Protein backbone atom coordinates (compact mmCIF):
# COMPACT_ATOMS: atom_id res chain seq x y z
CA UNK A 1 0.00 0.00 0.00
CA UNK A 2 1.35 3.41 -1.00
CA UNK A 3 -0.15 6.88 -0.60
CA UNK A 4 0.81 9.69 -2.99
CA UNK A 5 -0.31 13.26 -2.36
CA UNK A 6 -1.38 15.15 -5.48
CA UNK A 7 -2.58 18.28 -3.70
CA UNK A 8 -1.88 19.36 -0.12
CA UNK A 9 -3.14 22.95 -0.05
CA UNK A 10 -6.39 24.46 1.16
CA UNK A 11 -9.00 26.66 -0.51
CA UNK A 12 -7.10 27.84 -3.56
CA UNK A 13 -4.01 26.47 -5.31
CA UNK A 14 -0.62 28.05 -4.75
CA UNK A 15 2.72 27.72 -6.53
CA UNK A 16 3.84 25.05 -4.07
CA UNK A 17 0.57 23.31 -3.17
CA UNK A 18 -2.33 22.30 -5.37
CA UNK A 19 -5.77 21.75 -3.85
CA UNK A 20 -6.87 18.47 -2.25
CA UNK A 21 -6.28 15.05 -3.76
CA UNK A 22 -4.40 11.89 -2.85
CA UNK A 23 -4.07 8.39 -4.26
CA UNK A 24 -3.96 5.05 -2.46
CA UNK A 25 -2.26 2.41 -4.60
CA UNK A 26 -2.72 -1.28 -3.79
CA UNK A 27 -1.09 -2.98 -6.76
CA UNK A 28 0.30 -5.98 -4.90
CA UNK A 29 -2.66 -6.42 -2.55
CA UNK A 30 -5.55 -6.20 -5.06
CA UNK A 31 -4.32 -4.41 -8.20
CA UNK A 32 -6.45 -1.35 -7.49
CA UNK A 33 -5.95 2.42 -7.34
CA UNK A 34 -8.23 4.61 -5.25
CA UNK A 35 -8.47 8.40 -5.47
CA UNK A 36 -9.51 10.50 -2.47
CA UNK A 37 -10.86 13.94 -3.41
CA UNK A 38 -10.24 15.54 -6.77
CA UNK A 39 -9.57 19.26 -6.57
CA UNK A 40 -8.99 21.44 -9.62
CA UNK A 41 -6.02 20.33 -11.78
CA UNK A 42 -5.76 16.90 -10.19
CA UNK A 43 -5.29 15.37 -13.64
CA UNK A 44 -2.43 17.79 -14.29
CA UNK A 45 -0.77 16.68 -11.05
CA UNK A 46 -1.14 13.05 -12.09
CA UNK A 47 0.97 13.81 -15.17
CA UNK A 48 3.93 14.27 -12.83
CA UNK A 49 3.55 10.76 -11.41
CA UNK A 50 3.49 7.16 -12.75
CA UNK A 51 -0.25 6.97 -11.91
CA UNK A 52 -2.54 6.06 -14.83
CA UNK A 53 -6.08 7.53 -14.70
CA UNK A 54 -7.43 4.39 -16.39
CA UNK A 55 -6.19 2.37 -13.40
CA UNK A 56 -8.28 4.39 -10.93
CA UNK A 57 -11.32 2.26 -10.12
CA UNK A 58 -12.72 3.98 -7.01
CA UNK A 59 -13.02 7.67 -6.11
CA UNK A 60 -13.94 8.82 -2.60
CA UNK A 61 -15.09 12.41 -2.05
CA UNK A 62 -14.94 13.72 1.52
CA UNK A 63 -17.22 16.73 0.85
CA UNK A 64 -18.43 18.89 -2.01
CA UNK A 65 -16.47 22.10 -1.50
CA UNK A 66 -14.88 23.17 -4.78
CA UNK A 67 -11.29 22.58 -3.74
CA UNK A 68 -12.21 18.90 -3.32
CA UNK A 69 -14.36 18.27 -6.45
CA UNK A 70 -13.67 20.81 -9.22
CA UNK A 71 -11.18 18.45 -10.88
CA UNK A 72 -13.69 15.65 -11.34
CA UNK A 73 -15.22 16.53 -14.77
CA UNK A 74 -11.84 16.90 -16.45
CA UNK A 75 -10.38 13.75 -14.92
CA UNK A 76 -13.43 11.66 -15.80
CA UNK A 77 -13.37 12.93 -19.37
CA UNK A 78 -9.64 12.32 -19.83
CA UNK A 79 -9.98 8.80 -18.44
CA UNK A 80 -12.10 7.96 -21.50
CA UNK A 81 -9.35 9.15 -23.85
CA UNK A 82 -6.66 7.19 -21.98
CA UNK A 83 -8.02 3.68 -22.54
CA UNK A 84 -10.23 3.88 -19.49
CA UNK A 85 -13.18 1.59 -20.19
CA UNK A 86 -13.65 -0.26 -16.89
CA UNK A 87 -16.46 0.64 -14.49
CA UNK A 88 -15.65 3.43 -12.04
CA UNK A 89 -17.19 3.62 -8.56
CA UNK A 90 -17.65 7.04 -6.96
CA UNK A 91 -18.44 7.39 -3.26
CA UNK A 92 -19.44 10.82 -1.98
CA UNK A 93 -22.00 12.89 -0.10
CA UNK A 94 -25.34 13.83 -1.61
CA UNK A 95 -24.78 16.24 -4.51
CA UNK A 96 -21.69 14.62 -6.05
CA UNK A 97 -23.69 12.68 -8.65
CA UNK A 98 -25.70 15.78 -9.60
CA UNK A 99 -22.53 17.88 -9.95
CA UNK A 100 -20.79 15.33 -12.18
CA UNK A 101 -23.76 14.54 -14.40
CA UNK A 102 -24.60 18.22 -14.86
CA UNK A 103 -21.02 19.06 -15.87
CA UNK A 104 -20.82 16.13 -18.29
CA UNK A 105 -24.23 16.88 -19.78
CA UNK A 106 -23.66 20.62 -20.32
CA UNK A 107 -20.24 19.97 -21.88
CA UNK A 108 -21.66 17.11 -23.98
CA UNK A 109 -19.03 14.76 -22.63
CA UNK A 110 -19.67 11.09 -23.40
CA UNK A 111 -17.77 8.56 -21.33
CA UNK A 112 -16.69 5.15 -22.61
CA UNK A 113 -17.29 3.55 -19.23
CA UNK A 114 -20.01 3.25 -16.60
CA UNK A 115 -20.03 5.20 -13.34
CA UNK A 116 -21.64 3.62 -10.30
CA UNK A 117 -22.54 6.18 -7.62
CA UNK A 118 -22.74 5.43 -3.90
CA UNK A 119 -24.08 8.09 -1.54
CA UNK A 120 -21.95 8.12 1.61
CA UNK A 121 -23.56 7.80 5.02
CA UNK A 122 -22.12 6.74 8.35
CA UNK A 123 -21.13 3.07 8.53
CA UNK A 124 -19.54 0.41 6.34
CA UNK A 125 -19.41 1.43 2.66
CA UNK A 126 -18.24 -1.97 1.47
CA UNK A 127 -16.37 -5.02 2.68
CA UNK A 128 -14.81 -8.09 1.11
CA UNK A 129 -12.33 -10.75 2.22
CA UNK A 130 -9.40 -8.35 1.93
CA UNK A 131 -10.57 -4.93 3.02
CA UNK A 132 -13.30 -2.89 4.69
CA UNK A 133 -14.07 0.81 4.25
CA UNK A 134 -16.09 2.68 6.87
CA UNK A 135 -17.30 6.31 6.75
CA UNK A 136 -17.88 8.72 9.63
CA UNK A 137 -19.50 12.17 9.65
CA UNK A 138 -17.17 15.02 10.54
CA UNK A 139 -17.91 18.62 11.61
CA UNK A 140 -17.38 21.15 8.82
CA UNK A 141 -20.59 23.10 8.23
CA UNK A 142 -21.43 20.93 5.21
CA UNK A 143 -21.63 17.12 5.14
CA UNK A 144 -18.01 16.00 5.38
CA UNK A 145 -16.69 12.50 5.96
CA UNK A 146 -13.67 10.59 7.07
CA UNK A 147 -12.81 7.18 5.62
CA UNK A 148 -11.28 4.27 7.52
CA UNK A 149 -9.61 1.60 5.38
CA UNK A 150 -8.96 -1.64 7.28
CA UNK A 151 -7.03 -4.52 5.77
CA UNK A 152 -8.02 -8.00 6.93
CA UNK A 153 -5.55 -10.03 8.96
CA UNK A 154 -3.68 -12.69 7.01
CA UNK A 155 -2.87 -16.24 8.04
CA UNK A 156 0.69 -16.49 9.30
CA UNK A 157 3.45 -18.18 7.29
CA UNK A 158 3.72 -21.96 7.21
CA UNK A 159 6.45 -23.36 9.46
CA UNK A 160 8.46 -25.95 7.42
CA UNK A 161 9.96 -27.57 10.52
CA UNK A 162 6.51 -28.21 12.00
CA UNK A 163 5.29 -29.66 8.71
CA UNK A 164 8.38 -31.86 8.42
CA UNK A 165 7.70 -33.28 11.88
CA UNK A 166 4.31 -34.40 10.56
CA UNK A 167 5.87 -35.96 7.49
CA UNK A 168 4.68 -33.29 5.04
CA UNK A 169 7.07 -32.59 2.18
CA UNK A 170 7.16 -29.27 0.25
CA UNK A 171 4.76 -29.05 -2.69
CA UNK A 172 1.27 -27.99 -3.72
CA UNK A 173 -0.06 -29.48 -0.50
CA UNK A 174 1.39 -26.50 1.39
CA UNK A 175 -1.22 -24.19 -0.14
CA UNK A 176 -3.99 -26.69 0.59
CA UNK A 177 -2.97 -26.78 4.24
CA UNK A 178 -3.00 -23.00 4.40
CA UNK A 179 -6.48 -22.89 2.84
CA UNK A 180 -8.02 -25.31 5.37
CA UNK A 181 -8.31 -25.05 9.14
CA UNK A 182 -8.08 -28.83 9.45
CA UNK A 183 -6.88 -31.25 6.78
CA UNK A 184 -6.56 -35.05 6.77
CA UNK A 185 -3.73 -36.52 4.68
CA UNK A 186 -3.97 -39.75 2.69
CA UNK A 187 -2.22 -41.66 5.51
CA UNK A 188 -4.76 -40.41 8.03
CA UNK A 189 -2.53 -37.74 9.57
CA UNK A 190 -4.57 -34.74 10.70
CA UNK A 191 -3.05 -31.32 10.10
CA UNK A 192 -4.40 -28.45 12.18
CA UNK A 193 -3.43 -25.22 10.44
CA UNK A 194 -2.82 -23.13 13.55
CA UNK A 195 -0.29 -25.76 14.73
CA UNK A 196 1.89 -25.39 11.63
CA UNK A 197 1.69 -21.64 10.96
CA UNK A 198 3.23 -18.62 12.61
CA UNK A 199 1.28 -15.73 14.16
CA UNK A 200 -1.31 -14.01 11.97
CA UNK A 201 -0.06 -11.01 9.97
CA UNK A 202 -2.10 -8.07 11.21
CA UNK A 203 -3.81 -5.96 8.56
CA UNK A 204 -2.96 -2.31 8.09
CA UNK A 205 -5.32 0.49 9.11
CA UNK A 206 -5.49 3.86 7.34
CA UNK A 207 -7.66 6.85 8.22
CA UNK A 208 -8.20 9.65 5.69
CA UNK A 209 -10.26 12.54 7.03
CA UNK A 210 -11.96 15.37 5.20
CA UNK A 211 -12.08 18.93 6.52
CA UNK A 212 -13.28 19.09 10.11
CA UNK A 213 -13.28 20.76 13.47
CA UNK A 214 -11.70 18.54 16.12
CA UNK A 215 -14.16 16.51 18.18
CA UNK A 216 -13.88 13.62 20.62
CA UNK A 217 -15.71 10.93 18.63
CA UNK A 218 -13.09 10.96 15.90
CA UNK A 219 -10.52 9.61 18.36
CA UNK A 220 -12.23 6.21 18.53
CA UNK A 221 -12.76 6.21 14.76
CA UNK A 222 -9.02 6.47 14.05
CA UNK A 223 -7.85 4.51 17.10
CA UNK A 224 -4.64 2.50 16.50
CA UNK A 225 -4.42 3.55 12.85
CA UNK A 226 -1.06 2.84 11.26
CA UNK A 227 -1.41 6.07 9.29
CA UNK A 228 -3.72 9.08 9.72
CA UNK A 229 -4.16 11.80 7.10
CA UNK A 230 -5.57 14.84 8.90
CA UNK A 231 -6.11 18.41 7.77
CA UNK A 232 -4.00 21.13 9.38
CA UNK A 233 -5.29 24.23 7.62
CA UNK A 234 -4.06 26.50 10.40
CA UNK A 235 -1.20 26.53 12.88
CA UNK A 236 -1.68 26.82 16.61
CA UNK A 237 -1.61 30.63 16.87
CA UNK A 238 -4.61 30.79 14.51
CA UNK A 239 -6.88 28.54 16.59
CA UNK A 240 -9.69 31.11 16.64
CA UNK A 241 -9.55 31.42 12.87
CA UNK A 242 -9.71 27.63 12.53
CA UNK A 243 -12.81 27.55 14.73
CA UNK A 244 -14.42 30.31 12.65
CA UNK A 245 -13.92 28.39 9.40
CA UNK A 246 -14.67 24.89 10.75
CA UNK A 247 -11.12 23.65 10.38
CA UNK A 248 -8.44 22.11 12.59
CA UNK A 249 -5.04 23.32 13.66
CA UNK A 250 -1.90 21.22 13.49
CA UNK A 251 -1.76 20.97 17.29
CA UNK A 252 -5.36 19.78 17.47
CA UNK A 253 -4.63 17.11 14.87
CA UNK A 254 -1.50 16.02 16.76
CA UNK A 255 -3.40 15.71 20.04
CA UNK A 256 -6.08 13.57 18.38
CA UNK A 257 -3.41 11.31 16.88
CA UNK A 258 -1.63 11.01 20.23
CA UNK A 259 -4.83 10.18 22.13
CA UNK A 260 -5.82 7.62 19.48
CA UNK A 261 -2.42 5.88 19.50
CA UNK A 262 -1.89 6.61 15.81
CA UNK A 263 1.48 5.38 14.54
CA UNK A 264 2.09 8.05 11.87
CA UNK A 265 0.38 11.40 11.32
CA UNK A 266 0.46 13.13 7.92
CA UNK A 267 -0.78 16.72 7.91
CA UNK A 268 -2.24 18.20 4.72
CA UNK A 269 -4.75 20.86 3.54
CA UNK A 270 -2.28 23.55 4.62
CA UNK A 271 -3.09 27.23 4.13
CA UNK A 272 -0.84 29.10 1.70
CA UNK A 273 -0.44 31.86 4.33
CA UNK A 274 2.32 29.79 5.97
CA UNK A 275 5.85 29.70 4.60
CA UNK A 276 8.00 26.58 4.88
CA UNK A 277 10.21 27.97 7.65
CA UNK A 278 7.11 28.71 9.73
CA UNK A 279 5.83 25.17 9.22
CA UNK A 280 9.22 23.78 10.21
CA UNK A 281 9.05 25.68 13.50
CA UNK A 282 5.52 24.39 14.08
CA UNK A 283 6.68 20.86 13.31
CA UNK A 284 9.28 20.97 16.08
CA UNK A 285 6.51 21.78 18.54
CA UNK A 286 4.29 19.02 17.14
CA UNK A 287 7.02 16.42 17.64
CA UNK A 288 6.76 17.10 21.37
CA UNK A 289 3.18 15.79 21.15
CA UNK A 290 3.60 12.89 18.71
CA UNK A 291 6.92 11.62 17.39
CA UNK A 292 5.98 10.53 13.88
CA UNK A 293 4.36 13.60 12.32
CA UNK A 294 4.99 15.28 8.96
CA UNK A 295 3.66 18.18 6.94
CA UNK A 296 3.21 16.54 3.54
CA UNK A 297 3.99 18.26 0.24
CA UNK A 298 2.65 17.68 -3.26
CA UNK A 299 4.02 14.46 -4.78
CA UNK A 300 5.21 13.04 -1.45
CA UNK A 301 4.70 9.27 -1.30
CA UNK A 302 4.51 7.03 1.74
CA UNK A 303 4.45 3.26 2.06
CA UNK A 304 1.88 2.18 4.61
CA UNK A 305 3.69 -0.12 7.02
CA UNK A 306 2.37 -2.14 9.92
CA UNK A 307 4.29 -1.36 13.09
CA UNK A 308 6.86 -4.05 13.61
CA UNK A 309 6.92 -5.25 9.99
Give me the residue spans of the domains in the chain: 2-153+202-300, 160-195
pTM of the model: 0.91
pLDDT the model gives residue 307: 59
- Residue 230 labelled as part of a binding site: no
- Residue 63 labelled as part of a binding site: yes
**Cα–Cα distance, 227 to 214 (Å, whole number):** 18
Fold of 2-153+202-300: Metallo-beta-lactamase; Chain A (3.60.15)
**Mapped to the 3 state alphabet, what secondary structure does 76-99 carry?**
HHHHHHCCCCCCEEEEECCCHHHH
CB 287 within 8 A of CB 254: no
Return the closest-CA partner of residue 91 out of 51, 139, 57. 57
pLDDT the model gives residue 90: 98
Q: Quick: pLDDT tens for 71-117.
A: 999 999 999 998 889 999 999 999 999 999 999 999 999 999 999 99
pLDDT the model gives residue 309: 40
Decide the pairing of beta strands 227-231 and 205-209.
parallel
Catalytic residue among 67, 226, 238, 298: 67
Residues of 73-106 as b/e, b for ≥16 C-beta within 10 angstroms?
bbbbbbbbeeebeeebbbbbbeebeebbeebbee
- Residue 65 labelled as part of a binding site: yes
pLDDT the model gives residue 190: 87
* Active-site residue flag, 67: yes
The string of DSSP letters for 148-170 reads: EEEEPPBPPPB-HHHHHHTTPPS
pLDDT the model gives residue 121: 96
**Cα–Cα distance, 261 to 224 (Å, whole number):** 5
- Residue 68 labelled as part of a binding site: yes
pLDDT the model gives residue 187: 82
- Residue ranges of the chain with per-residue pLDDT less than 70: 307-309
Amino acid sequence: MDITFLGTGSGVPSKLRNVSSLVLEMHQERDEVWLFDCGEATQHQILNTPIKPRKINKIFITHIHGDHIFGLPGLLSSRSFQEGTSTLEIYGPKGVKEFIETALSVSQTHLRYTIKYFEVTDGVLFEDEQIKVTAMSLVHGVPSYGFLIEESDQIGPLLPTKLKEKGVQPGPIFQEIKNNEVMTLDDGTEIVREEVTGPDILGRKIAILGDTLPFDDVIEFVRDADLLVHEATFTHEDTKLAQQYNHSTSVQAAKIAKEANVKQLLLNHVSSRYQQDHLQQELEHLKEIIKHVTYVKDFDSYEVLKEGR
